[in-house]
Every structure is written in structure tokens, then in C-alpha cells.
Structure 1
């Protein structure tokens, strides 16, 4: 109750601030024609997107408390980060009650999900090279295929700068956390480049929760002519970490070594009425896990190679986009039957957008996926946007989405565990029907969004079903679920320097057969923020309330703060304070989150 009252007080303070300054003249703060690309696979105004899209831009990234992508997404409406607590612990994402396997993660439009497990650890990705993040809430298989049931997160990285610049960043904080970043950007003739190296170490707040991470990032853009560009992206991350386990089953000798490599070569061509893109990509993930106490050792390598093509053609009252993808995936693992498996997926998609009458836009899209391991899937979607005026519109959509079974679910083999477990090669994909209606209001000083959503999921994969006849556990298609909720998003510029934001998500996720709540789907999620920004100093205060939790976990309210100060023109200090009131809480049951902690950073540019 005290935590709830504290959140109400926090909100009232914001309202009082708003009443005191509402009469002041504000400058243009929101861009009414902000461009997004993820919702439709081509550039369009945010206000005209047929689905709910959240954009975290470079300025917001600078203001947020965050060491990785998971931190940046914690206070996004409809998003829940499942966090194992430690700085090295796994951090995966849920959108609108989805599992982490039902969210597609992209870097510059290319998928990076690990198809052995189905998800991706967002704690792996540093924020230093991120230009913006686009979060599409709701099913998007009509354009992106498998695993976009809950939504899509597209992480768009920074390119080079017109003037050469070198940036150094040094950080030190709680638990002997140390960060080092060296970044160089520039341009030479037609070549635009961005290169960086980073290192992070930490002892963590629990025994055996250390982290030692190194990463290399390179991005080159070459201007072929006035219409065409060639992009080359390469990222390598090496993370050595302790794995302390849960409080119930701690592990003080387990460690894990992850190596991730992403390569992306793209050709883009933009003319007055046509956009074309061809991407060739390769991803490789290697993991070694070892626990001497339990004589456990496993090795895994998952690689993917693919080619992606899409084109958009623009007419006066009509847009059409289409494309295709060819992807080969391979896994070699000590926990996979026969030690190695691979698969091939071929896909085609098309989307047609019409403005039948001036205020009404209709979008019809569909994608056909032909996977060699299970039946083909067709994912259609129908969307509409009705523009009431230049500031207000309504949108609605209905569509089908699906999640593919992972390599572990299909071919996993754990005969020596306490309870024997084997994969099921006869699994079918999970499928869902997605419904959404929403309203967006956007002017120069305020943003308001209201979304209602519902998702019916069939053939959900129960990954731990005990087969009495066979005497072991396996994965089967037996579950179904209904997930519904509402999102309210409010952002207001109070003055030229001060803004507030609030978002609230109500979520009800239940098993259709038993009517029991799905685990880790909380009823209430409220985020509050107060931001101050000038050229010399900026700061933020953010509160998060999570209540009505499943699994009998207690509610919690935490507050974080950040302050940035320019000492000189090219020298800046930043101080992050996390869990300001030193609350004890858990996001995942059995994994305590850190106590009050800080990190101090200094950056120079020359």
C-alpha cells in the first residue's frame, strides 16, 4: 500500500507541475512527421502507422538509465523485461504478455534471435552505438514471418559523421563495475564510417555473478551514386560470465562463455517513386557452459545465413511493397539429437496500401513461409488508419501470426538429467489471431495514445509435458491462451526544458482450458518520468510500479535517477542512480535484483 501511495504522490507532483506551467509558451518539441520503417518495412510517418509503434531516439537514450538495450526498453508501454537480476544475468523481452520466443529482435532490419532457444539476451547489447529503437507492439508475421507474435524490436545503429570525431567514455560504479569505450566516426570521400571497441567488467551483486565483456563494432556506408548506397555492418561480442542460479538452487561454480558475431551487407536504392533493398547476412552464436560441481558441460553453435529482398513502389494514392527471404539455419550442440540439425525456410510477402478516400487508409498484407521441418504458414493482416485531422487518428488491425518451434523443442536431448527430457520433431508452430484498435494524438507539445488489444493463441507449446507412456518429458502442442489488455501513453512538454511522461498497461493473460493466469504476466505496469534538458545540464527521474503479479510475487515500486553535466564543450559527466530507495524486489522468482547502485561516467570528444 505504501508503494502504491508513493506512486500516486509521484503522479500528483507531475500534475501540479503541469498546472503551474501550462500557460507558458512551448517550442516545437515533437516532430509530427517522424519517420519509422519497422511497421511496414518502408518509410512512413509515425502518425500514419497502422499499428502501435514506440520510438526511442538518441536524445531519449542519452537521458535514460541504461547500460544495455534491455535497460532502455524497461519503461516502454506493453513491454516487460524478464531479468535474472545480475549484471551478467539473462535479460529477455515480453511484449503484451508474449513469451520472449514470440518477439522478433532485429539489428538494422536483420533478425538476431537464437533459434536453438528462440530468444535473445538483450543484456549483451551495449547502447553506445544505437541511434534509435523502434518497438512494434502486436503481431507482425504478415511482414516478418515466424516469432513476431508479440511484436518486433528493431535496433537501428549509428552511421559515421560528416566531420571526423573521436569519443572516449570511462565509467566506474557499484560492484566494481568498469566500462571503457573508444569510438571513431568520420567520412572520407564517398565512404562514411563508424568504428568502436568496448570493454565492461563487474563483480556483480551476488556471488559468482561476474562479467567480463568485450565488443567490436564497425559500420561502413559507401555512396555508389545519388540513388544507391552500400552498407557493411560487423559486430562481435565476447562475454564471460558467472551463472549464480536462483536463490533456491544456487550455483557457485557455473560459468558461461558467449560469442556473438553479426555480419550484414546491404544495397539500398531510393528514387522518387521506388525503394529497393537487398541484404545478405550471416549470424553466429557460440556458447560454452560448465559447472564443475554438477559435472555439467555443454557446447553450442548456432549459425544462420540468409538473403532478404524487398521493394516499395509509391503511387499517388497507392503503395505496394513486396519481397522475399531465403534462410538456412544450422545448430551443432551437445544437447541436440545427432549433435547437429539444420533447416531451410523460403518466404514471400506482399503489402498493399490504399487511400480510398482522403481520411481513410486501408492496408492489406500477407506472407507465405515454407519451412522444410513443418507445414507452410500463411500470415495475413488487415489494417486501417482513419485520419480525423492533422493531430488525431484512429487505427485498427486484425491478423494472424505464428511462432516456429525451436531446435531445442524439436530435437533437444537430455537423457542424463534428473528427469529425462527429449524434443518432439512432430511439433507444429504456435499460431495466434491478433486484434487491435487504438487512437493517437500528437501535437508540438503533447502525445497521447490509447490502445486496446487481444490475442488468441492456439497450439501453444508446452515444453515440459510428462509422457507417462514413454517415461520422459517432452514438448507438445496442447495449450491455448487468451491475452487482452489496454495501454495508455501520455507525454507532455511542460516548458521548453521540462517534460513528463506516463504509461500504464493492464494485462490479463489466461490459459483457455483452466482459466488460470499465465506466469510472469502482471496485471498492472505503470511507468512515470520527469525530464529536464538544456544544453549544459540534463536529468531524469523515473518510477516504475508493478502490481497484481502472478506466482504470488510481491508488488514493487522503484525509482531511478540520472544527471548529465557538460564540464566543458567536449567533456561531459553523467551519474546514474538505480533503485534509489534501496528496495528489495524480484522480477523473476528466485533472482533478487541489485540493491541501490550507481555508475559514474566521463566522456570526451575531440
Structure 2
């Protein structure tokens, strides 16, 4: 804990956690160690003479160490002017990538897709210019094999199974976690290749932010946030937070015309987009109880310009989304619990009165979703036990689905997990974590089991991780039931994609000193063969349709980070190799649209006083 204006440590500051009740104080160097936190996102209360009491949220993991840097800005004239920022600088799980609020602000990314472009092993696919629909794959997966959760609510389309991350604005996002590998044991369907977890911001004391930006092709953006404590009484606090983002772009970049259209150069038409996103939250914090209510709304419109050989200058898409999440959590002694419920409504319209090929169309999709989730946990010495249940129901109506398509979908999942950790050195912890989840779906037969077991060895400077697990991803409604077209047909007999025996290993070196600089290294390897990956192929009639294909998927990732003191300069290099090949006798070679190698190099620096 340091004084933000001078960078000097704050000694004797009080640090408290409420679940369970733990307390410590900073030493003369401003540092503190708080042991025994329950796993998950936890709230720390910090107070020091001459500063307001502040709260920060940190990610706690059994057997691991999380570093938090807190800056307090003194105001000798008015104590209510203090501002505290808590920064979780690293995560102890070597497989997980965490992007905190400070890093989000530094990147100046407009949406979640843009933020993830530099994450090792993640491939971002944008179908057009700024604001175009954007999906991600992890380690050569399909986009519908990556689960995206915002405050625990799935963002994947019920129709396609994919999550359009360009619609998730970052003004109201506190933290993003990317967990690659088989994650169905914890998060259920679609977490076959990994999961993207988004935690939105809540009140952290009074504050207001505003930002604007401009870019090429008519890009403009305005962000704003407002935060404050509504009411405080002793250890009880009621706070609120509001964020909004408006962005637009023309997307009218120039491109070479194909020979079939006469050659030369043209400017992209009907590639504009605009969106307005609003997020808000209200929370009640007490020592043994926390209540949180979050709402979000999106209104977006964009053109669908089509391919350059057959442009569609009048095709449009409108999308609306509104929803809310209520969460209650608490604990007493070794027990803790968490309950949440969410309600979502999504609609989209696609139309073109004069398409280049075929008849005019006006298609609509409407989805209503309700989710309930509950969990309970217990801590017994070095053992952590957790269990929970998740229920979800969907109602869907779409003119794009053919006869026989269901008008609803219900799922249920139950899971148990354990985490045993033990100190094996002065600054070294061993953790073993088995887990199992059973899922049922009204569109699938029987129960689907997703077991997993992992082992981690973690210290302040070193971490190693090994995991083995299963995962699955169900077929999408669009692949099974879309309206049959010319040379394209659905496949109602599709089976779920299964990942059996996913093996992943990671070794990480943290904060190694190289002269005045600090170096971090991470190397991962994986084998993630997929039984029944859903891919589109033409049959003997040259009619395209989705089908299940066995695929061998394996590879490695290497990442190096170098930074100078006070983050005056940063350099990052990551290299990923994902071999995604057909496993059958008929087809061989790399699956289309899966790059075998990806390389990302970045450098940033600051000029002037820090």
C-alpha cells in the first residue's frame, strides 16, 4: 500500500476481509500478507489514518498467492477526496490469463474482442471492419466451443452457439479472465476449448470518468462512468455504479475490386455500425452478507456489406439485448454460499430488400432466457469442498429455423469440486483439485459427464500446472434446424462434440530480475483431441451441411514479458502452434481456417514523469 502522490509506503494501515473475518496491518514497507481467504472474488477493506476506508476486490485461489497494489491519494483539506485503486498484478494459476482494470484502461480497447487480440493462444476473427461481428477460438477450436460468461450469464447465441464479443463494451468491465482447456467440469456446456469470464464493475467509492476517441474509417467513441457510495453505516455500505458507451464507424475502407467486377479500386459500402451500451449495478455489503444487482442493455445497428464479389449495399442487422442479474452471497465460519438468478431478452433482425442473389428477406430471432444458480462451500483445514446446481431455460422464436425446430430449450447441471492445498516450502504450495459435473439437456439424450483433475505447484516466482479432463459442446440450433436453402442443408442428427482426455501442462517463471528489468516466461503444451467436431462439408451431391468429424488437436504456446521499473516500457512476445488435423482415413491435413502458427509482438512505453 503506497501514497499515490509520492509513491511512499503507508505503514500501520488496517486490512480486513469479511469471509471469513481476517485482519492484518501493513508493515513499515507498506506490505501485508492475508492468509486463509476463501476461493473466489473477495472484498478487502483498507483503512489508514488520513485516508478514507476503501474496498478492493481480489481473486483468491487455494494454495496460490495474489498480489494487490493499492494507491491512496491523500487530501489534507477533505478526507472524502481519497481515491484507492486495487490492482491484482498476477494470478497464481499458470494456465489462466487475467486482464485487470488498469490493463484494460491502458490498451484503450473499445470492446472485448479487441482486448483479447493479444492473448496467447486466442484467435480473434472479425467478419469485416470496425464493429463487425467478432468471435474467438482458443487453440484452434471452433468459435462455438468457447463459452463467454458476463457475471456468470452465458453470452453465446442460442441459435449459433457463438459469442459476438464486439457487443461487450469495456467501459463497465472490471476484469477479464481467459481460462483455456477443458472447463466443462466447472462451467458446463460449450466450455470445450476454454472459457472467457467477464466481471463487470461495481462501486468503489465516489468517482466519475469520461473518455472519447476517434479513429480511421469514421470511428468515434464516447465512454462514461459514475460511481458512488449511496449510504454507509458502520460496516454496512450501499453503493452504485453506472457506465455507458456509444460508438460508431463508417467502415468505408478502400479495397481492390476482383477481376469479375472489372478490377480497379472501390470503397466499402454499407459497412457502418453504431451501438449504445449501458451497464449499472447496486450493491449492499455487510460483514456476513453481500447483495448485488446488475443490469445491462444494448442497442446496435450495422450494415451487412457482403463479399466484394457480390456486395449487398442494402442489407442491415439490428440487435437489442436487455437483462439483469441478482446475486446474494455470505458465509459464517467455515461455510459459505452463493445464489444468483438472471433474466435475459435478446432480439435481432436481418433484412435485405434487394440482395445480389436470391429473393428479398426479412428474418427475425427472439430469445428469452432464465437462469438460476446456487452453490455452497466448506473449508476444512487444507481442504476446500464445493458443490452447486445450475438450471437454465430458453424460449426461442425465429423465422430462420425450419419445421421441427424446438421453441424452447432447458438445461440442468450439478457439480462437485474439491481443492486440497498444502505448503511444501517457505513460499511454495501444492494444490490438487478434482471435479465432476453432470449435465442434462432437453435436446440431447441422457446425462453428459465432465470429470477433471488438476495439480498445481505455485510460489511467488514460479508456477507449474498439469490437468486432465473431459468437456463437451452441444450442436447449435442453426446447424440442426435452419431453413434448407440452395445447396445447403441442416443436419438434425448431429451429435455433441466431445473432448476426452484433454491434457495440458504449463510452467511459468514470474518477475525474474534481468538488470533493471523484470522478466516473465510462460510455456504451455496441450493435447485436446475432439471426437465429433462439427464442420461444414459438401456431400456427394455437392450440398453443404454440417457433420461430425474426429479431429486431433495439439500444440504449444510460449510467451515472454519484459518490463522496466514503474512500467515505463513493456515488451511482449508470444508464439502459438496449434495442429488441428482430421483423424479419419478419408480426410487429412489441417482443418480449414485454423492457423497453425500465430505470433504476436507488442511494445509500449511512457515518456515523462511517472
The TM-score normalised by the length of structure 2 is 0.77
Change in Cα spacing, 1:35 to 1:315, as seen in structure 2 (3 Å) is closer
How big is each residue's C-alpha offset from its partner over 1:385-417, in whole Å with a ceiling of 9 and x where there is no partner? 134x54223211111010011111232223xx3
- Pick from 494, 502, 525: which aligns with 1:452? 525
Residue 114 of structure 1 pairs with residue 135 of structure 2 = no
How much does 1:183 deviate?
A: 2.2
Please say if residues 181 and 197 of structure 1, whose CA atoms lie closer than 8 Å, have aligned partners that are also in contact: yes
Q: For residue 186 of structure 1, what is the aligned residue in structure 2?
A: 228
Residue 146 of structure 1 pairs with residue 212 of structure 2 = no
Residue 501 of structure 1 pairs with residue 501 of structure 2 = no
How much does 1:473 deviate?
A: 4.9
How much does 1:299 deviate?
A: 0.4
Change in Cα spacing, 1:515 to 1:170, as seen in structure 2 (3 Å) is same
Please say if residues 278 and 298 of structure 2, whose CA atoms lie closer than 8 Å, have aligned partners that are also in contact: yes
Please say if residues 88 and 242 of structure 1, whose CA atoms lie closer than 8 Å, have aligned partners that are also in contact: no
How big is each residue's C-alpha offset from its partner over 1:270-319, in whole Å with a ceiling of 9 and x where there is no partner? 44533321110122221100011130221001222110112222222111
How much does 1:472 deviate?
A: 5.9
Q: 2:175, 2:39 → 1: CA distance?
A: 10
Q: For residue 169 of structure 1, what is the aligned residue in structure 2?
A: 211
Q: For residue 216 of structure 1, what is the aligned residue in structure 2?
A: 278
- Pick from 554, 563, 569: which aligns with 1:484? 554
Secondary structure class of the residue paired with 1:62: helix
Please say if residues 139 and 151 of structure 1, whose CA atoms lie closer than 8 Å, have aligned partners that are also in contact: yes
How much does 1:156 deviate?
A: 1.1
How big is each residue's C-alpha offset from its partner over 1:242-289, in whole Å with a ceiling of 9 and x where there is no partner? 011222332211110011223111111144533321110122221100
Secondary structure class of the residue paired with 1:74: helix
- Pick from 323, 328, 341: which aligns with 1:267? 328
Residue 352 of structure 1 pairs with residue 418 of structure 2 = yes
Q: 1:482, 1:109 → 2: CA distance?
A: 31
Residue 314 of structure 1 pairs with residue 379 of structure 2 = yes
Q: For residue 85 of structure 2, what is the aligned residue in structure 1?
A: none
Secondary structure class of the residue paired with 1:422: coil
Please say if residues 210 and 242 of structure 1, whose CA atoms lie closer than 8 Å, have aligned partners that are also in contact: yes
Moved more, 235-244 or 264-273: 264-273
Q: For residue 428 of structure 1, what is the aligned residue in structure 2?
A: 495
5 Å-filtered alignment, 1:503-542, equals 503-513=574-584, 514-533=587-606
Moved more, 307-316 or 319-328: 307-316
Please say if residues 92 and 463 of structure 2, whose CA atoms lie closer than 8 Å, have aligned partners that are also in contact: no
Q: For residue 554 of structure 1, what is the aligned residue in structure 2?
A: none
Residue 393 of structure 1 pairs with residue 463 of structure 2 = yes
Q: 1:431, 1:85 → 2: CA distance?
A: 31
- Pick from 150, 171, 192: which aligns with 1:128? 171
How much does 1:207 deviate?
A: 1.0
Change in Cα spacing, 1:494 to 1:199, as seen in structure 2 (3 Å) is closer
- Pick from 145, 148, 159: which aligns with 2:202? 159
How much does 1:214 deviate?
A: 1.3
Q: For residue 442 of structure 2, what is the aligned residue in structure 1?
A: 372
Please say if residues 356 and 362 of structure 1, whose CA atoms lie closer than 8 Å, have aligned partners that are also in contact: no
Please say if residues 465 and 476 of structure 1, whose CA atoms lie closer than 8 Å, have aligned partners that are also in contact: no
Moved more, 337-346 or 449-458: 337-346
How much does 1:49 deviate?
A: 5.7
Q: 1:535, 1:215 → 2: CA distance?
A: 35
Change in Cα spacing, 1:167 to 1:405, as seen in structure 2 (3 Å) is same
How big is each residue's C-alpha offset from its partner over 1:421-468, in whole Å with a ceiling of 9 and x where there is no partner? 2340x3221101211011122237332211101111002223455475
Please say if residues 422 and 472 of structure 1, whose CA atoms lie closer than 8 Å, have aligned partners that are also in contact: no
Q: For residue 60 of structure 1, what is the aligned residue in structure 2?
A: 103
Unmatched 5+ stretches in structure 2: 1-28, 42-58, 67-89, 232-236, 253-267, 513-517
Q: 2:558, 2:30 → 1: CA distance?
A: 23
How much does 1:193 deviate?
A: 0.7
Q: 1:306, 1:418 → 2: CA distance?
A: 38
Residue 200 of structure 1 pairs with residue 247 of structure 2 = yes
How big is each residue's C-alpha offset from its partner over 1:63-99, in whole Å with a ceiling of 9 and x where there is no partner? 2142111111001000000111311311100011111
What is the root-mean-square deviation of aligned Cα atoms in Å? 2.7
Please say if residues 32 and 442 of structure 1, whose CA atoms lie closer than 8 Å, have aligned partners that are also in contact: no
Secondary structure class of the residue paired with 2:354: helix
Secondary structure class of the residue paired with 1:293: coil
Aligned residues: 499
Secondary structure class of the residue paired with 2:118: coil
Change in Cα spacing, 1:82 to 1:245, as seen in structure 2 (3 Å) is same
Q: For residue 231 of structure 1, what is the aligned residue in structure 2?
A: 292
Please say if residues 114 and 285 of structure 1, whose CA atoms lie closer than 8 Å, have aligned partners that are also in contact: no
Q: For residue 26 of structure 2, what is the aligned residue in structure 1?
A: none
Please say if residues 38 and 60 of structure 2, whose CA atoms lie closer than 8 Å, have aligned partners that are also in contact: no
The TM-score normalised by the length of structure 1 is 0.77
Q: 1:302, 1:401 → 2: CA distance?
A: 26
Change in Cα spacing, 1:511 to 1:297, as seen in structure 2 (3 Å) is same
How much does 1:520 deviate?
A: 1.9
Unmatched 5+ stretches in structure 1: 1-26, 538-606
How much does 1:180 deviate?
A: 2.4
Q: 2:569, 2:100 → 1: CA distance?
A: 17
Q: 1:188, 1:462 → 2: CA distance?
A: 52
Q: 1:353, 1:366 → 2: CA distance?
A: 12
Secondary structure class of the residue paired with 2:109: coil
How big is each residue's C-alpha offset from its partner over 1:32-65, in whole Å with a ceiling of 9 and x where there is no partner? 9999849xx9744468866610011112112214
